[in-house]
Chain A
């Protein structure tokens, strides 16, 4: 009996440990492979979508497919609706985004630099940033109306806070040693701001621009939905209301495309400013 137990134990022991243990390893892909897999992913998903539509898996009334989106785009172009919508949205985006970056940068710098102002306004910034600012839309309508100005206000409200917060954090994160170096060479406050605080804050600022970029696009869509149904956002909204899902998807595709292009462009700008980082 005891012998059997013994053998059972010894039998089980080695088997348990003999099971091959897979030690963690990382997978490194070549750039080519990566791009290929990415493209394949897009093609497969779009293909599956098209197949579902044609096989009737998705409703032909409320659903759409890549080819239907193409058809819808063609129709919109023929009716001179698409490019005017894109231009309208682009204008709104450029004005709103520039305002967000410009104002956010200045406010962030000031609040990061003057500790007393920071102490006074930080609760406000935090509160407004955390609050669902879209709740203010009705008030904006009351105060500014539903014109382009009101739309710009919405984009600004949606997009400006990451810019303020990141710039502020960047300025406040100034390296103490660098500050001491500047002081030892008799730097003035302005010298410290220009030669130490600002360059040091640049990575934060660029990160702020990235977040503001994405949020400004969202702001454009929201402003166009709720105020005047203009531009590409308005196009999506109106198309949805009349079940023209193909046209709605055209608008969505335009926003996706814009987001990708702008982010890549920003990445290129970032690289230029970033060569001092390892």
Chain B
């Protein structure tokens, strides 16, 4: 535990305090589990603080069950936290809002809508734009993620990687201030995942939009993020906040740099399951 605190101390010393775009203050999430007879509540997030600067790409990494998806859901407004406050661009967040868009895990496309109609979904629900305007913006978003020519395909007719591009386009087309991504590449095969990571890195460079990206893949977190935030197992707390020093646009070769490997190694050490630590200490004793 002392080592962890030390870690946070070491990485939490920004040279210049950056402007705050998203502020998560003391976020707490406790689930009353109805299935448990003892009535004991499960604390998933315990007073979590996090800030994101304008245009910053922050990746959140942690073992499964650490509450990283819960954190994302709270920011998205899909889950009501039991405690704490969140501010985006100075406005307090309550419930879902037009200023945020979520890129969900796979299989979130509406299977009865074509690619174009899926991308248009968010805009249609806003009922603000005329049909022609929606069409134009959808077309632009589809081109942005490289899916032109597939507008009239149904989700089952395209690959998993392409489906996730649609997912991305559906979130970007509403021009949110903050993009929230929940392990969007988790279910893809390794090659497709790398390809989409490359494209997302390039896209992040052009779009320059504040992003929270949840993943359990360490290399992915370091490759994509301006900052990597590591979380501990439940109750979820931030155990490290590491600034990734590489310039953008980043190429795959970044992965070969010693600094990259150093960060990955450090994160791997931090995220190792607690049981393994216990084993190690027992042996030392």
Q: Is B76 an interface residue (CB 8 A)?
A: yes
Closest to B170 in A: A181
Shortest CB distance B237–A (Å): 25
Q: Interface size for chain A: under 10, 10 to 19, 20 to 34, or 35 or more residues?
A: 20 to 34
Of B24-32, B48-56, B105-113, B225-233, the one with at least 4 CB within 8 A of chain A: B105-113
A180 surroundings in chain B (CB, below 8 A): 78, 102, 104, 108
Of B81-89, B121-129, B242-250, the one with at least 4 CB within 8 A of chain A: B121-129
Are A275 and B154 touching (Cβ within 8 A)? yes
Shortest CB distance A119–B (Å): 16
Are B121 and A184 touching (Cβ within 8 A)? no
Interface positions of A from 263 to 278, Cβ below 8 Å from B:
275-278
Which one of B98, B108, B121 contacts A177 once the chains associate, using CB atoms below 8 Å? B108
Given contacts A180-B78, A185-B122, A186-B125, are A277 and B111 in contact (CB under 8 A)?
yes
Q: Is B204 an interface residue (CB 8 A)?
A: no
Q: Is A202 an interface residue (CB 8 A)?
A: yes
Given contacts A184-B78, A184-B101, are A202 and B125 in contact (CB under 8 A)?
no
Closest to B113 in A: A276
Which one of B101, B102, B125, B174 contacts A191 once the chains associate, using CB atoms below 8 Å? B125
B77 surroundings in chain A (CB, below 8 A): 184
Q: Is B156 an interface residue (CB 8 A)?
A: yes
Are A185 and B121 touching (Cβ within 8 A)? yes
Q: Is A140 an interface residue (CB 8 A)?
A: no
Q: Is B96 an interface residue (CB 8 A)?
A: yes
Given contacts A181-B121, A276-B154, are A186 and B111 in contact (CB under 8 A)?
no
Are B104 and A181 touching (Cβ within 8 A)? yes
Q: Is A128 an interface residue (CB 8 A)?
A: no
A-B contacts, 14 listed (Cβ < 8 Å): A180-B108, A182-B125, A183-B78, A183-B96, A184-B78, A185-B96, A185-B121, A185-B126, A186-B125, A195-B110, A195-B124, A275-B154, A276-B113, A276-B155
